[in-house]
Amino acid sequence: MYRPWTDKEVKFVMENYKQQGSNEWIAEKLDRTLISVQQKYFVMNNPHKIKKQQPKKKIYKNLNDLESCPHCGAISRWNKIENGYYCLECLREFDRRGEVVEWIY
């Protein structure tokens, strides 16, 4: 059964994983499986872990707030359509958040 890790347990694993030499001792002490202790240690120490930062989407109230086409970068070359805008340079549609709308066909 899944049980979330507490901060105390994570700290204990990080401090004792390399020092004790026996991961079974840590697993027994925390009442966890050996695999879960190993996985927690390697997940916390993964040097390739990338923290994803989502950029905040700017919502344009009207056509005048938009600086350029988000696909090709054309300045002031678009028309307003039913669901957003249409660039006259690259012939792409994009919505009010500036995301390019993919074609269905």
Indicate if 40 and 69 belong to the same structural domain: no
Q: Is residue 85 part of a domain?
A: yes
Q: Looking at residue 53, what is its pLDDT?
A: 67
Q: Is residue 54 part of a domain?
A: no
Q: Which domain holds residue 76?
A: 63-101
Q: CA–CA separation, 39 vs 100, rounded Å?
A: 39
Contact 30, 45 (CB under 8 A): no
47-105: pLDDT as tens digits: 676 666 666 666 555 555 667 777 777 776 767 777 777 788 888 887 777 677 776 65
- pTM value? 0.44
Q: Is residue 81 part of a domain?
A: yes
Indicate if 39 and 67 belong to the same structural domain: no
Q: Is residue 17 part of a domain?
A: yes
The structural domain count of the chain equals: 2
Q: Is residue 28 part of a domain?
A: yes
Q: Is residue 52 part of a domain?
A: no
